[in-house]
Each structure stands twice: as structure tokens, then as C-alpha cells.
Structure 1
Amino acid sequence: MSRAAATSMSSVSWTVSWTVSLLLLLLIRLMGVKTVPDVVCKHLSSQNIRSLHQDGDVIIGGLLNVHYIPASLKQDFTREPHYQPCTGLDLESVKHMYAMAFAVEEVNVNEELLPGVKLGYRIVDSCGRYPWGLHAALSLVTGSADTCNTTASPGASDPAAQTSLQPVPLLIGASSSTTGIMLSRILGPLSVPVISYLASCPCLSDRTKFPNFFRTIPSDIYQARAIARLAVRFRWTWVGAVIANTDYGHLAIQEFQEEIRGKGVCVDFIETVYRSTIDRDSRRAALKIQASTARVILVFCWYTDVHQLFLQLAKLNVTDRQFLASEAWSTSDVLLKDPDVSAMAAGVVGVAIRSSQIPGFENYLRNLHPARRPGDDFLIEFWEKEFGCRVRDTASSYFSASSSSPTKDSAQKVSPPRCSGTESLQGALHPFTDTSQLRVAYNIYLSVYAAAHALHSLLSCSSNISTCSSPENIRPEELLQHLNNVNFTSPQGEMFYFEGADTPAKYDLVNWQRTAGGSKLKLVLIGHVDGFDLHLDESAVQWRTGSSQVPVSVCSESCRPGTRVATRKGEPVCCFDCLPCTEGEISNISGSPHCEPCPSEFWSNADRTACVPLQLDFLSFNETLGITLTTAAVTGATVTAAVLLVFLYYHQTPMVRANNSELSFLLLLSLKLCFLCSLVFIGRPSVWSCRFQQAAFGISFVLCVSCLQVKTMVVLAAFRSARPGAEALMKWFGPGQQRGSVCFFTSIQVLICVIWLSISPPVPQPDLDVPGLKVTLRCAMASVVGFSLVLGYIGLLACTSLLLAFLARKLPDNFNEAKLITFSMLIFCAVWVAFVPAYVSSPGKYAVAVEIFAIIASSYGLLFCIFAPKCFIILLRPEKNTKKYLMAREQKD
């Protein structure tokens, strides 16, 4: 069994033992037995609980932790579990005790509230021990004799008469949620109302389980949600948590996690600390904080636990963490004034119980003096501690009263001098008399007023809830009914009422800032919480670095715009990688979980942060490719024109006349049109350019190929007509028939183009199928059939010409162009066969470039293959351009 488990079992057994004894005491009291058995009385009186008492017609009970809780002893199970007595006075709790006393005295001087009825109190120190608190509560409720020292304030009844005290109908107490749960469950069957000033567990709002419980502090739901909203507001997505191993800590962190769910905030670790093992637990938590990458730490603990945690962090030199404080320690003077923890505590941002002023309370505290309250042991102990003197001749401090028998060494110690009586709190700067920010004290103050107004309603018979009652016969169940309906305005002007067990939630937001010297810390108000609404002045916050720069606490840096979040397998959602958006998708916010696709006419920019309109791209005259193709086309047209001029100049020579000069001129003209029609494909496509370019291309090439086909047919007819009996063949291939054949073949292409362009012409359209910022504006073929017919007809004529030229390749040279036509048509067909797959596979404007290249290449092939040899003879070998030379070749062949 571990030490923690053993300690836990011992605590449970100890609590069970005390609870059984207390229930036995309660049972005996309810049965009317006046004398408690010695064994039970001895068992309950061993802790030496003391109280402050003031007599009155109606007594209300108070349960406060006036003293510190000492470290628990290790329970070895060899003897009955026990605790050491409490030592050390808690000045804040002493102030809380006198706040209750002041509130009661203020009620008594109020002529409108409880007229004719004097309100009294009995405040018991429970020392934060659950068994002692339960015993004290049952002692107050049952009115049983308390064998512990009971001190009375001035005006209290004779101590001799306190053997049987007046039962209290209401209890103000429970400084912790666990104590509140225990008190409410044990006192619930008696319907005794419990008003807590510090128990903030959300579970206590359940009226079905705790019908007699009320509180003047908001539920932890509100502070946990406020802290969660701070984390969300400052984008702290990676936080650690240190919590008290109690209902307070566990329920608070559960509510915090519930609030941050789905908001991108993750908890890296949760470390628990237990007061009985705080040294070991704080060391473990400090090491976890040091190892964690979280730079913001949430702490739901009591201030004494936080003090130990900060000391451990100081030993490890961990000074770069931003702490978020719960209301349990966000205003602790002990931490604020301790120089050993200032390096870790600077910049703390926390939720604090809302503060308020209590007029007259500071003067009340400054007028406290043992001479005026000789029976107040708490004041005497405080006096002796603060002024270092003895109020009484004999040792009267709580240290002496609760310690074991004096030893030889202690007897030899020099006792402090006796107080002179001139000691005073008037004019002294002391935390005890500082009432500038009353928080818990104000909650106690409101609790007294809530009890007083409920009693006023019960005793004044102004309500229809129940019958009238008298101060001597107040029944707790009747008071409980009136307390449920309390609604009043406090002396400070605050509207007060209970919503079930709770009051409307109000908190302060505080910040621990360095003073001008930098060595001390001060508490600065930076905002407030009203219900679930957070009001914060960010400019007033001073963070741990001393600047206004908000600290960063993330597991992974937020993904910048243009990227998306990609979670890591097996890790929290706050730990992720950032992947860039793909082309055509964007993310314009940080931390985007996914990329959004751009609309059809938009594309992502280079950073993938915005959708920009698509940039229309086309083959222009200004770019290199366009200039190159234009140059090639213009050069081809120029060369063709030059050849045409040569043929015109030498049209009477045998070389020109022997090769059907009329068809040659027509062929040159068609070739020039082929070169020039390629220029129509360059530039921004328009409705008319899209129609004209395909028609010009189709008709020009058909005209060109038709001329070649007719020339080949004429050669074949001339050769056949030279044979006996075939003289009449040439009459079918005279000049008129030649021109008619060319026009007929061309008109078929013209008809195809007219029908195609009339029914479904090409139109300029952006090519959205190809992804990218630049989209090609091209002439989209609305009808693929029409374009296929144009190409198919050109191909048909080319193949026919190739076949005829191949058949005429061996005719005599003086008539024969067949070899040249054959070679040119081979090049022509090869170019256009290669064009089809290249055109289909080329993206964007490059498809247009492929078509232009095919037009120019095939045109150059026809021009050079047919006319280059002839121009060579005409210009460079004029001696061969004679009839004699041609006839000689004919005879040779």
C-alpha cells in the first residue's frame, strides 16, 4: 500500500470515527438526555475548540477557521488516529470573525430591522478540521455544553450559565465545499439553514440534495468559465493545471474543460496537491511545470498550497510561466508580500471574490483592544503576537494553551514583557485594519444580513409563508422557508437575493503587478465578471514579463493563412502540423481547419490566401512564341510572293510554261493565303476571329491541295494522250476544266465551312478545365464534327494527290512534277498526322501554337519541295531553262 493510500485511509477512518461520535451526541441530545456520557464528551473535547460569544434574544452560529492547519502526522495504525492541535493565527480569518460580529452589532442598532429583538452570535474556531467543524456545528445546533474553553465578549452571559446554551436556528460557516457538503447533509434532516461564505462547489447548487444550503459566494462554474474565456480570448491553446485534491479543485477543472471543449484549448497536464502531503505534491507539480511546454498554468488551490508550489518553482528557477489564479489565492497578502515567490508570481491574472466597502468597519477594527474585551482570547492572542507582550500575568496565548507540558528548555525561555496598555491599532498601517478590499469579510457581512432579514420576516408576521414565531420559539424549518424568499437591499445599496442556493455571480479580475521599485507586488483591478459576461481592460494588464505583450502558450504555432491544420495521430487537437493549401484552394484566416476551393472563375494567389480573378492567357504577338510564329509566317508569305514575282517575270520561259503556269500561279497564291491565315490564330480570340481563322485555314489548304491534285491529273492526262487512240483525253483537262476542278473541290470545303459556322461556330471561351491562375482564352469547338469534316476533307484531297503523284512519278521530266508533288505531299501528310496527337495533348495556348506550326510547316514543305528546284534552274541555271535542254532530257528518258 502506498503512503498516499495509507494517509487517505487513515483520514477516512478518523473522519468516520468522529462522525459516529457526533451523530451519537446528536441522538442523545434529541432524546432529551442532558448529560453526555463521559467517553463521548472526552472524545469531543480533546481538540480544545474555542469560540467568541455574544448573548442575544436570537443567537446565530458562526463557523470559521481562525487558526492554521498544522501538518498531519503519519498514521501508523498502532494507535487511534489523531491530529495535533492548531497553531498560528490567521489574521484574515480573525478579520472575518470580527466582520460577523460587526454585522450583528450593526443589525442591532438598526431600528427598522428586528426591532425589539437583540441578535447574538456564537462564533466557533473549527481550525479547518472536518471532525472539529462537525462537532462545533452540532454543538451550536443542539445547544449542548462545550467542555472546551468558551470566551465571551463584553455583555455576554455569565460563563457559569453556559453549561446549557441556546441552540442556534441558523449557521454561517463552511469555508470549504467539502465542509459545506458534510454540514448540509448532517443538518439537513433538522432543516437547519447553512449559509456559507466560501464554499463554491457547483454541486452545492443542487436543491434536491442540499435543500438547507445557501451561500454568498458564486458557484465555481462562473469563475471556471471566466478563466476558460480568458484562455480563449488570449489564444492560450496549451495550458497546464494544478488543482487541490478536493471537490473544489476537481469540479473546477471539470467545468473549465467543459467550457473550453470545441474552442481549440487543450490541457497539457493536471497535477493534484493534497494539503497533508503538500511538500511532496508541490515538488512533483513543479517538476511537471518545468518539463511542460505550456507557458500558462491554471491553479485551483488554497493559498498555502500555492505558496509551497511557488517555493519549489523558485528552487528550480522556473520564472517564465504565466499563472491564472482562482479566487482561493488571487488576493492572498501572504503571497503578494513574500519576496521569495515574487519572481514566479509577477503578472498573475486571477478571478477574485468581488470586493466592497463596509462603512465603519475599519474604525471598528482600530478600536479593538483587550482592555475593552477582556474575555476575547482571540483578540488577546492577536495582541500578544503583534505587539510582542503579555496581556495577562499568566501565559494566555493559544500556543501555550494547546501545547504539551513544558520542557526544561521552554521553562528557561525569557517570557515577553507585560503590555503597557498603550498599544493601539489606531493610526497603524496593518493588514488587519486594511478594509480597502473586503471580499470574504463582505460575504460574511451579507450572510449576517440575509439571516437578519429572514428572522425579521419570520418574527414580523408580514409573510404568508408560515405562522408568526417568537424569539424564544424559532423553528429552523420555518426560518429556512423565509430564507428562501430573502430579497433586500444591503446598506451598500446592493440588491441581494438567493436563486436557489446561489446569489448572482459577481467577480473581480485582478492582476499582480510590480511596484515602482520592482521588488514588491501589488494587486490591481483590471476588470470584472458579471454572470457569464467578461469585462476586461487589456491595456491595464501587466504580464509576467512586465510588459503589455500577451504571453504565448501553444502546443503548435497557429497555422498562417494559406495553410490548414493537420492533426497529429494520437495527440491532442492543439498539437498539429500546418499543410499548405493546394492550387485552387485558399485559407484566409489563421488556424483554418480546411482549405476552401475558389469559385470557377477564380484561382488562388501565390500565397493561397485569396481567390483572385483568373488571368486570361492567349497566344499574343508580344510574347516570344508569338513573335517567332509571326516571323515564320510573314517570312513564308514573303518568300511565296518572291517566287510568284519570279514566275511572273519568267512566265514565257520553258520551265514556267512546261509546268502549267496558271495552276502554278494559283498554287502560289493559295500558299500565301496559308501563311497569312496562321496570323489570324495569334492575338486575343474574338467571335469573328474564331470563325474566320478556321474557315481561312480550311479553304486555303483545300485550294492549295486542289491545285496540286489538278496539276497531277493534267500530267497524267498529257502522258496518256500521247499514246495512240487517246488524243481526245486532253480535251477533258483543258484550262477551263482545270479551273472548274479547282473551284469544285474548293467549293465543297466552302460549303462545309458555311454549314459548320452557321450551325455551331467556334466561340471564345476560357479553358477552365486546365487548373491554374492563368486560363487560356481559346476558340472552343462547339461542334467537333464540323472541325473534323474540315480536316478530313483536306486529308482526303491530300491522300488523293499523293496517290496520283506517286503513279505519275516516272513520266518524262519535261512534263513531270509528280516527283516533287509526291515528296511535298509526304511532308504535308506527315505534318498533319503528327498534328492530331500533339494538338490534343497540348495545354492552353500551346494547342493553338501547334496548329499554327502545322500550317506553317506544311506550307513551307509545299513551297520548297515544288518551287525550290524550279527557281534554282530559272535563277541560277538559265542555260537549262531552254526548250532544247528540256527536249534533250525527254529523248534521253
Structure 2
Amino acid sequence: MTSTQRWPEKGWAFLHLLLVVSVTQAEELVCRRRGDPENPQISKDGDIVLGGIFSFHSRWKDIQNTYIDKPLNWLQFQKYFLQYAQAMLFAIAEINNSTHILPGISLGYKIYDVCGSIGRVVTVALASATGNEMVFAPSDVPCTRPVNVQALLGVTSSSPCMAISTIIGPFHIPLVVGHNQTLAQLVYYFGWTWVGAIRSNDDYGNNGMAIFTETAQQLGICLEYSVPFFRTDTPEKIQKIIDMMKASTSKVIVAFLSHMDMDVLLHELSHHNLTGYQWVGTEGWNSDSRIAAVDRHHILDGSIGLSIPKAHVSGMKEFILNVKPLSSSSNELFTEFWETLFRCKLNKSKSSAENQTECTGNEDVTGVQNTFTDMSLVLIFYNVYKGVYAVAHALHNILSCNKTCDNKVQLDPFTVIYFNENGDPAAKYEIMNWQPNENGIVDFVRVGLYDASLPTDKQLTLQNKSLVWAQNSQKVPLSVCSEKCPPGTRKVLQKGKPVCCYDCLRCAEGEISNATDSITCVRCHPDYWSNERRDACVKKEAEFLSYEEIMGALFLLLFSLILCFLCSLTFIGKPSEWSCMLRHTAFGITFVLCISCVLGKTIVVLMAFRATLPGSDVMKWFGPAQQKLSVLGFTLIQVIICILWLTISPPFPFKNFKTFNDKIILECALGSAVGFWAVLGYIGLLAMLCFILAFLARKLPDNFNEAKFITFSMLIFCAVWITFIPAYVSSPGKFSVAVEIFAILASSFGLLICIFIPKCYIILLKPEKNTKKNMMGKGAPKRITSLA
């Protein structure tokens, strides 16, 4: 019966169940294990023996080999690994005292030290399975022996687990790799699509990062770089990693590292003062108080990442700290631990260290502050605790335990125990945030929870707590290769770069995009057109030639000129009551209508060039509606004058006997001279006003020289009517009528020639100038385009 459980790094691969059938053969031939015997550091007999593999020491001594004696000793006792062993012993003690699990069966243990070496892990795993005893067997039968331990627990990283699974594969021991999608979900939650990644260069880091990368790609997250790191890397290789981090544009670093690798990397980062990055950590280091203690440059402040959920086991802490019973089962290990813990020399110790104070072995462990008494890693101890209980429950079921267990049942090596259908428990992590307090000490604050057993949209939840980010910022860092493309644009990938790097290209005319980060623009329906922001289709305006347009106003001017020409006909023929009233009123009204059109055009041209300040709303008072109202208003005044004239004292037919003795001159008497001169005076007033405004606009750009033509036309108009007055007064009889007709025709032709002939010239003879580009040439403001 076999199974493995790879707990997350720092929970580590704490469960290796190795239950191998016990077969005994007592024969003559001797089979013995090659090499030196492997003896456990802590052991106790039992009906069923469980094996434990831990690294009580971190590395071998750096000594000069003499090739005479074997380099057997090691260096640097890792006190906190004794906590893991204590957690295993605590669980075994509980089970042995329980009447519910494995009644009548006692559990023993053999705990080995592998010194952080994969080679020793393999050696110890084989030794724990086969033992050191000699086996007798006949020549035609392979050497078989009783199994030494029925289960293995421990191992502190994935690479040793992989090695064990390869070596003891024939025993049908599976290795189950845990899921690492949680980290990608966390990165995605905060909108970080452009991140750097650094991983331990071992099975834990490489396999974990492979799963993270696959999940990240599905979520639209891009890795700017992903580099391996190992604590024994050369300075040159480490420098390349540092240079890559400095040259990167991503501000978020996902660190898939073991606590030992992070310890070394943090030491290197402090030399280069690489601060300001937002670190996202795995449970391998994110909740490790030892890493926070050595981060004196506060490089990791604001880090966010995963942590194994808290658990409380009554009595575990007290049992772990009570190490004195170890002195009876492993006097050598206890002695080294005690001397390392209290920095002393224990009585009867073989230690040759000088200048050390002596200790008795009765010192108070709780009064010491170090990695052993630091219980912040109790979550990991709990994994060891659960691993022992998993084995115990499996054995309980296999041995058919009721009130007692059948200890005669043969254990089948092909029986496999799983925690679920995949061999993994549902991933469940706390989200922890590194928040430095006033004393500069990091507080590990729980800010959320990830539970893979929940529905997808509810797996990751963050609490309403204030998060602290890199450099003590209260704002979520931004780490993207390209900013989001707003509506009205579409994404265009940058050549040779990941999909997270793109440019935002504005949609073409007639196309829109109404969502953020659109990859395409949609063409509008033929009845619609894109607006200025290109984020909506608006209905096209139906366009036709109307009086609201400038060209419509010019037709209105031409119509008034036609009336001016026609009104001269009313002066020809025998005067009658109606013709006398019509000739002067028609003349006065049509000329005012004509001058009003010219005056309106002059005001619009002048105001358009005067309203040059950004945001000016002057032109809203001179739109098409206002222009029509001004023409109507000016003309209405003349109409009122004419009505008053016709009402009070209208013109009438008159026979002039005085001018010629031999002729009777039929003419129209003015009736009221005041009315006549009021009509002419009002026309002259409008003409002078128009002339003055046009004169003020004489310095406009050449492309917009309509004001010059208006000035010329008003100059001719005024000259004609100024000369008309003495000529009219001094002309006798019918010649005064001829003078008035001449003045009407001359002034009308002046307006016609000065305003319309230049336009006809451009349209008929210079069509290349009749373009928007020419009208918007150098020096021409854009706001005048509607006047062209």
C-alpha cells in the first residue's frame, strides 16, 4: 500500500507512504547491504514502524580530504528541523494512546538525517525499506528480507521526492505533484498582466513554474522573463539575473522559491538595493518569519502571497518544545542540539570546542529566542501531524480494526491510498500581506483566502482590509506591458513581443469599437457614421442646399439683386397712383434686403476671424438662424418706414407745368419728402455700416478675401448714391427719374460684379483652387472652412 502527498513547499512533500509486504526467508546464503550502514538518529520499536526523513544538518563540512579517513561529519545543525521530528513523535504518541485508531497496535519510528542531500535521501530511503541486517537465501531465490519501515514521512523539497519515486518505483510508490494555479489566480485578480518570474532551479521550482505559466497564459498574463535560481549559483550567473531584473519594465515579481533559495537571493538583492518591486510569493517563503527577519533593507515589504491555513492542535506546541525525552533515545543528537541551542558544552560531551560554558541539560528551552522556539512554522508541523494520521487511518482500514486490529494481515504493496481522486487534497491557502509596523518589524496580515473546493468565481476572496504594497504604498501597483486600449481604438500586437504588448490604433472613419481592449473595429451601417471618438455610430445627416448654408444666403443676395434690377422698371411708364407708391417702396425694401445680406456676410467673416481664443463661443451668436433673423430685422425696419410713409403722405401722380412751358411732365410727387429721404437715409446707413466692417476685415488672409470684395462693392454703392443726390436734385423732369434708374442699376451691378464675378471666376476658370485644402492653406484658420 503506497501513496505520496506533495505538500506545498514549506509544507513540502511531507507524506511518503511506503507499505511493503513482509516476506521472511531463512536460508543459507547471505545477502547484505553494500556500503556503510544507515542508522536512524531517533528510533523506537513498535508493531509497525514509520520512517521519518529530515535534514537536521544543512551541509557537509568544508574540509581537505586526506583520502585516509572518510569525511563523515557535517556542519550547521538546523534546530527547526527537530521541530518537524517532534511533531511526528507527538502524532505517534497520540495514536498509541488512542483506543479509536489502531487499537492493540503500537507504532514505532526511525527518523533519519539526510543533511539536505538528494543522494543521502535516496540512500536513506533504500535503507529504511531494506534495513542493514543480513539475509539468508538459497542460490536460486533472490534475496528478500523483512521490510524495515512501513511508511516514510518527511523530505523537505520536491527534488528529493522525485528522486525517491524514481529509485523505489518498483515498489509502486506514486509521486503526486500539487497544483500551483492559485498563484496565477492571485496575479490575475490584481490585474497584473506583465510580470517577471524567478524560480528555484529544482523540481519544486521548475514544475511549479511550468504549471503557473500554463495557467497564466490562459488568463492572459505574460511573463517578461522567467529565470531559474539556485543558492549555489556562481556570482556571474547571479549577476545576470540581477541585470535582467534591473532592465525589466515589469514591476511585479513572482517568486517560486524555497525559503533557502530566497534567503540567498535576498542577500544578493540587498547589495544592489533592488527595492520598489511588488513581490508575489509562494508558501515556500511568503509566511516565513526567518526571511522577514533577514530582510533588513525592506526589499520584500508589501509582499503578498500564499500561506498554509492556520490550524491548532492541542498540546503540540508544548510537546515540540519538550525535547528532554530525546536524550534517552538519541543521546548524540540531543547533545548536539542542546549545545547548539544554548551555545554551551554539555557535561560528558565529546565536543572539543574551547571557551564554551558548561551546561547541565536542565536549562529552560522556553527562555531562548531562536529558530527552534519560534513557533511561527506550526502550520508546517501540522502537515507532518496530518501525514502520520493519514498513515494510521489507512492501516486502520487495511487491518480491519474494530476493538483490536488483525496484525496477521499481510500488507499488499499494490494497495494505494489517496486523499481524493487525484491523490491531492483540495488546495486551500490563506493570502498573506507583509505589513511593516512602527517598529520596522513585519506583520503577516491575513487579507484573503483561496479555497479550490468552492465554485470557480468564489475560490479567491479578499477581505476588506487595508493592503500595503511595495514601498508602503496604499495603491495597487500597475504592471502591464501596454495600457488598456480605450473605446474607439483597437489592439495591434507589437512585432516580436508577447501578446500583452500592443499598440492602440484609432479606428478608421466609419468604424467604431465600444469596448476596452477591442481587437477589431466594426464598420457602421451605411445609414450611420462614426462619431469623433470612434466609439459610437451616429445617424448621417441628410444634406441639401438650404438657406441655412452660406451658399443659400448667396442665393438670397442674388435674388435681392434681381429685385433691385426689376424695381427700376417701375420707374418707366406713365405714372399712376399704384406705380408711384410701388416704385419708391419697392426700391427701398429690395435695396435694404440686398445690403442686409451683404452686412450679414460681413459680420460673420469678421467675427469668425476675431473669435480666435480656445473655447470661444462667440460664433454661436452668428449662426445661420441668427443671420436670417438679422436680414429679416433690417428689412423689417425699412418696411415699417415705407408703411408709415404710405400711410401718412404717400407718393402720387403729378402733372408738372412749371419745368417746361411747352410740355407737361407727368411724374410722381414724393408726397412726404421726409419719408423719401428716410428711405434713402436708412439704405445709406446700412451701406456705411457694411463698408466700415468690411474695411476692418481688410487684413484677413488672402485665402479668405471675401471681405475685400465686400469693401469694394460698398465703396461703389456709396459713391453711386452720394453722386445721385446732387444729380437727382438738379435734373429736371423725367431726367431725375433717369438718374434714379441709373443709380439703381449702377449700384446693383457693383454688388453683382464685386461679389459674384470672383466666385464664378474660381469655379469656371480655376477649379483647382475650389478645394478645402486650398482654402485651408497657410495662414487660414480652420474655423472658417464653413465660409468657403
TM-score, scaled to structure 1: 0.56
- Provide the secondary structure at the position in 2 that maps to 1:577: strand
- Distance, in Å, in 1 between the alignment partners of 2:531 and 2:346 is 84
Residue from 633, 639, 643 that aligns with 2:564: 639
Match of 2:512 in 1: 586
Cα deviation code 1:409-443 (max 9, x no counterpart): xx6x5242222444223466655345466332222
Structure 1 residues 649 and 833, CA gap change in structure 2 (3 angstroms): farther
Pair 1:185-2:141 in alignment: no
- Distance, in Å, in 2 between the alignment partners of 1:243 and 1:388 is 35
- Provide the secondary structure at the position in 2 that maps to 1:545: helix
Match of 1:561 in 2: 487
Contact 1:361 1:435 in 2 (8 A): no
- Distance, in Å, in 2 between the alignment partners of 1:630 and 1:304 is 91
- Segment of structure 1 superposing worse, 125-134 or 171-180: 171-180
Match of 2:313 in 1: 358
| Counterpart residue type for residue 117 of structure 1 | I
Residue from 217, 221, 229 that aligns with 1:265: 221
Residue from 152, 155, 168 that aligns with 1:171: 152
How big is the shift at 1:630?
A: 2.2
Pair 1:122-2:110 in alignment: yes
- Distance, in Å, in 2 between the alignment partners of 1:71 and 1:575 is 50
Pair 1:320-2:301 in alignment: no
- Provide the secondary structure at the position in 2 that maps to 1:68: strand
Match of 1:200 in 2: none
Pair 1:608-2:534 in alignment: yes
Residue from 462, 466, 481 that aligns with 1:536: 462
- Distance, in Å, in 1 between the alignment partners of 2:394 and 2:218 is 44
What are the equivalent positions in structure 2 for 1:261-300 lying under 5 Å apart? 261=217, 263-277=219-233, 279-300=235-256
How big is the shift at 1:59?
A: 0.9
- Provide the secondary structure at the position in 2 that maps to 1:135: helix
How big is the shift at 1:394?
A: 1.8
Contact 2:347 2:360 in 1 (8 A): no
Pair 1:451-2:376 in alignment: no
Contact 1:283 1:309 in 2 (8 A): no
Contact 1:279 1:308 in 2 (8 A): no
Cα deviation code 1:211-261 (max 9, x no counterpart): xx46xxxx443x2x2222233232322222212222222222222221122
- Distance, in Å, in 1 between the alignment partners of 2:163 and 2:77 is 25
Match of 1:247 in 2: 203
- Distance, in Å, in 2 between the alignment partners of 1:577 and 1:74 is 60
Residue from 60, 65, 69 that aligns with 2:59: 69
| Counterpart residue type for residue 89 of structure 1 | F
Match of 1:506 in 2: 428
Structure 1 residues 454 and 264, CA gap change in structure 2 (3 angstroms): closer
How big is the shift at 1:112?
A: 0.9
Pair 1:548-2:504 in alignment: no
What are the equivalent positions in structure 2 for 1:487-886 lying under 5 Å apart? 497-517=419-439, 519-531=440-452, 533-537=459-463, 539-614=465-540, 621-622=547-548, 624-633=550-559, 635-649=560-574
| Counterpart residue type for residue 442 of structure 1 | Y
Residue from 227, 233, 237 that aligns with 2:189: 233
The gaps in structure 2 that reach 5 residues or longer are 1-20, 135-144, 577-589, 598-622, 626-755, 776-788
Structure 1 residues 553 and 392, CA gap change in structure 2 (3 angstroms): same
How big is the shift at 1:368?
A: 2.9
Cα deviation code 1:823-867 (max 9, x no counterpart): xxxx99x989989999xx999xx9xxxxxxxxxxxxxxxxxxxxx
| Counterpart residue type for residue 189 of structure 1 | P
| Counterpart residue type for residue 190 of structure 1 | F
Structure 1 residues 462 and 566, CA gap change in structure 2 (3 angstroms): same
How big is the shift at 1:338?
A: 0.8
- Distance, in Å, in 1 between the alignment partners of 2:550 and 2:72 is 96
- Distance, in Å, in 2 between the alignment partners of 1:247 and 1:30 is 39
Contact 1:272 1:281 in 2 (8 A): no
Structure 1 residues 648 and 179, CA gap change in structure 2 (3 angstroms): farther
Cα deviation code 1:294-322 (max 9, x no counterpart): 22112222222112212222211211211
How big is the shift at 1:265?
A: 2.3
- Distance, in Å, in 2 between the alignment partners of 1:501 and 1:282 is 37
Contact 1:391 1:418 in 2 (8 A): yes
- Provide the secondary structure at the position in 2 that maps to 1:189: helix
Residue from 37, 40, 57 that aligns with 2:47: 57
Pair 1:41-2:29 in alignment: no
Q: How many aligned positions are there?
A: 569
Contact 2:41 2:111 in 1 (8 A): yes
- Distance, in Å, in 1 between the alignment partners of 2:72 and 2:282 is 29
Match of 1:7 in 2: none
Residue from 393, 407, 411 that aligns with 1:475: 411
| Counterpart residue type for residue 96 of structure 1 | Y
- Distance, in Å, in 2 between the alignment partners of 1:387 and 1:578 is 65
- Provide the secondary structure at the position in 1 that maps to 2:359: coil
How big is the shift at 1:108?
A: 1.4
| Counterpart residue type for residue 517 of structure 2 | G
Contact 1:51 1:123 in 2 (8 A): yes
Structure 1 residues 608 and 79, CA gap change in structure 2 (3 angstroms): farther
- Distance, in Å, in 1 between the alignment partners of 2:46 and 2:542 is 94
TM-score, scaled to structure 2: 0.63
- Distance, in Å, in 2 between the alignment partners of 1:33 and 1:386 is 49
Contact 1:345 1:512 in 2 (8 A): yes
- Distance, in Å, in 2 between the alignment partners of 1:242 and 1:72 is 29
How big is the shift at 1:117?
A: 1.3
- Distance, in Å, in 1 between the alignment partners of 2:62 and 2:499 is 41
Structure 1 residues 92 and 283, CA gap change in structure 2 (3 angstroms): farther
Cα deviation code 1:582-605 (max 9, x no counterpart): 223333444332333334444333
- Segment of structure 1 superposing worse, 263-272 or 274-283: 274-283
- Distance, in Å, in 2 between the alignment partners of 1:457 and 1:120 is 19
- Distance, in Å, in 2 between the alignment partners of 1:309 and 1:83 is 29
- Provide the secondary structure at the position in 1 that maps to 2:111: strand
| Counterpart residue type for residue 288 of structure 1 | M
How big is the shift at 1:88?
A: 1.8
Contact 2:256 2:282 in 1 (8 A): yes
What are the equivalent positions in structure 2 for 1:72-111 lying under 5 Å apart? 85-111=73-99
How big is the shift at 1:538?
A: 7.0
Match of 1:14 in 2: none
How big is the shift at 1:84?
A: 7.5
- Provide the secondary structure at the position in 2 that maps to 1:305: helix
Contact 2:198 2:229 in 1 (8 A): yes
Match of 2:5 in 1: none
- Distance, in Å, in 2 between the alignment partners of 1:835 and 1:316 is 77
Cα deviation code 1:51-78 (max 9, x no counterpart): 2112221111111222213599999xx9
- Provide the secondary structure at the position in 1 that maps to 2:56: coil
